[in-house]
Structure 1
Amino acid sequence: MVTVTVWNEFRHERDSDDVAAVYPDGIHTVVADALRERGHDVGTATLDEPEHGLSQSVLDETDVLVWWGHKAHDEVSDEVVERVVEAVHDGMGLLVLHSGHYSKPFKRLMGTTCSLKWREVGEKERIWTVEPSHPITDGVPESFEIPHAEMYGERFDVPAPDELVFLSWFEGGEVFRSGCCYTRGTGRIFYFRPGHETYPIYEQAEIQTVLDNAVEWAAPGDGPDPYFGNAAPLEDLD
């Protein structure tokens, strides 16, 4: 069982009737319920909680942090950002969803602007599985459709992924690297593009399967903790 914390600004759902109609209890609740139904131990945290719900004790107990943000990236405190980045370096997994590409933790970990093209007209998106042997693609078809989506288009200003597992095509003609895997320190990061506050994308079966697989992939393993600094020799030296 993987211990997961699903983080969400939880602002759109309270400020917009259109968003509340799609996610009345918050995007984090839908994602958390989907992961819980698949056997994970899931908690949630939101922006307006003390320490944004991400105290050191919460992160210490979190195997994988799922992050959704959009309109309030700048309100996330630098202290909490540093805490999250350090936790990733120390082995915590991080799943960054949709507009979380502009979140402070993701930008810090990528070291780039994480900028992209975008357009919101509700066009069709087709997601292609480009690395079918990857664990994140287990049970996912070669391609699947999202009927209505916000377009994200290249260039996506991120470092070249360690592994690219999904590629999106949009009705307007753009393409986008939609499933990007990275390692920072001993922590694994997966950026997954689909998701928008006015479309029920997180209720789609294929999306929930990817999130489940990604949590399993990003969870810390049982490898040795690396040691840094001055080291005594393991063998006799003359």
Structure 2
Amino acid sequence: MTTSEQNTTEPIRVVVWGENRHEQVNPVVRGIYPDGMHSTIAEGITRLLGAAAVVTTRVLDDSEHGMTEQTLANTDVLLWWGHTAHEEVADEVVERIHRHVLQGMGIIVLHSGHHSKIFRRLMGTTCSLRWRNDADSELVWTVAPRHPISDGVPQPIVIPGQEMYGEFFDIPEPDELVFISSFSGGEVFRSGVTYRRGYGKVFYFSPGDEIFPVYHHPDVQRVIANGVQWAKPERARESYLVTPMYLSGEFDRPVLTSPAGLVDYYTRELVEPRELHE
């Protein structure tokens, strides 16, 4: 099934990753998210997608941050929320996640995850922005009304209390700009953007500061659930890092070298034994 489309009847395998540090030390955050922000995000996806998604959670303090090779190999869409402990995420784990995104895993980066190692790795920029945490109101304006991520989303989403994120946001030019936010202080921000990286899809969505109940907001939950459906792989996972070769006259059949000879890129079946090339 390497080159065929995924069975659309199978549930989307979703993992919500949370730093889970604010919830342990800040009583305000713990009061809003007693089971952690990651649990609230996961519950919103489950409520909206039902049997179409199987949702689990992982946190920073899990072994290997919960991002083992086996977990990632069995994840269709990963959601990432981090803030104060970005540098505690091991570089080898970041590289592992990056590899799986290139191979086709979708990733949704939320709020302060803009400064996470994995988002900066995917963007290749600082991902810095302006901010102010003074209980601003935020209006999230849809600028791509026919995009799947904005399906069923009101115009605008009204968030009464939220941290302000403002331009300039140091990211590459988005493949698609889905949402722009405006704030009570007059600032604007590209709050919903998408990218393709390798075979994987990337969605960044900014609303979600920990001291406000943003992830309980039904419209925010709708955007995230839509994002999961959009970011799911369209094909089975396959290698992105190996550059295949092509035999003369066979321009649609990639092959790889092996000790036995040339093998089909997808099936690994022998195409030509080694002695033919010696």
Q: Same fold (TM over 0.5)?
A: yes
Q: Aligned to 2:107, which of 94, 98, 106?
A: 94
Aligned match of 2:44: 34
Q: Could you say which residue in structure 2 is the equivalent of 1:19?
A: 29
Alignment match, 1:165:
178
Q: What is the 5 A alignment of 1:61-100? A: 61-100=74-113
Q: Which runs of 5+ in 1 are unaligned?
A: none
Q: Quote the Cα distance in structure 2 between the aligned partners of 1:67 and 1:181.
A: 15
- Superposed CA RMSD in Å reads 1.3
Percent identity, please: 52
Structure 2 CA distance, aligned partners of 1:83 and 1:77?
10
1:156 matched to which residue of 2?
Answer: 169
Tell me which structure has the larger Cα radius of gyration: 2
Cα distance between partner residues in 2 of 1:123 and 1:31 = 22
**Structure 1 CA distance, aligned partners of 2:229 and 2:245?**
35
The residue number in structure 1 matching 2:244 is 229
Q: Aligned partners of 1:209, 1:144: CA distance in 2, in Å?
A: 11
Instruction: Please name the residue that 2:201 is paired with.
Output: 188
Distance in 1, matches of 2:235 and 2:89, equals 31
Equivalents in 2 of 1:52, 1:126: separation in Å? Answer: 34
1:144 matched residue in structure 2: 157
Shift of residue 224, structure 1, vs aligned partner? 9.1
C-alpha distance after superposition, 1:188-235 (max 9, x if no partner): 000000001110001111101101110000000037957832112327
Q: 1:10 aligns with which of 2, 12, 20?
A: 20
Instruction: Report if aligned partners of 1:146, 1:201 keep a CA contact under 8 Å in 2.
Output: yes
Deviation at 1:142, TM superposition (A): 2.1
| Structure 2 residue matching 1:173: 3-state secondary structure | coil
The residue identity in structure 1 corresponding to 2:178 is V
Question: TM-score of the superposition, structure 1-length normalised?
Answer: 0.96
Relative to the length of structure 2, the TM-score reads 0.82
Report the count of equivalent residues.
235
Q: What SS does structure 2 have at the residue aligned with 1:207?
A: helix
Task: Tell me: CA distance 1:8–1:57, structure 2 relative to 1, closer, same or farther (3 Å).
Answer: same
* 2: CA distance, partners of 1:222 / 1:185: 13
The corresponding residue for 2:262 is none
Once residues 117 and 42 of structure 2 are traced to their aligned partners in structure 1, the CA distance between those partners, rounded to angstroms, is 22
User: Aligned letter for 1:13?
Assistant: E
Which residue identity lines up with residue 234 of structure 1 in the other structure?
A: E
1:115 aligns with 2:128: yes
Counterparts of 2:157 and 2:19, CA distance in 1: 28
Q: Following the alignment from structure 1 to structure 2, what is the Cα–Cα distance between the partners of residues 208 and 67?
A: 15
Q: Secondary structure at the match of 2:245?
A: coil
2-side partners of 1:181 and 1:162: how far apart? 6
Distance 1:160 1:167 in 2: 14
In the alignment, structure 1 residue 55 sits paired with structure 2 residue 71 = no
- Could you say if the C-alpha distance between residues 223 and 63 of structure 1 is closer, same or farther in structure 2, counting changes exceeding 3 Å? closer
Q: Which runs of 5+ in 2 are unaligned?
A: 1-10, 252-278
Determine the C-alpha separation between the residues in 2 that align with 1:224 and 1:187: 9
Q: For the Cα contact (< 8 Å) 2:104–2:237, is it kept in 1? A: no
Q: Output the amino acid matched with 1:118.
A: W
When residues 224 and 151 of structure 1 are mapped into structure 2, their CA distance, relative to the original with a 3 A threshold, is closer
| In 1: Cα distance, 2:61 partner to 2:76 partner | 22
| Aligned with residue 212 of structure 1, among 199, 209, 225 | 225
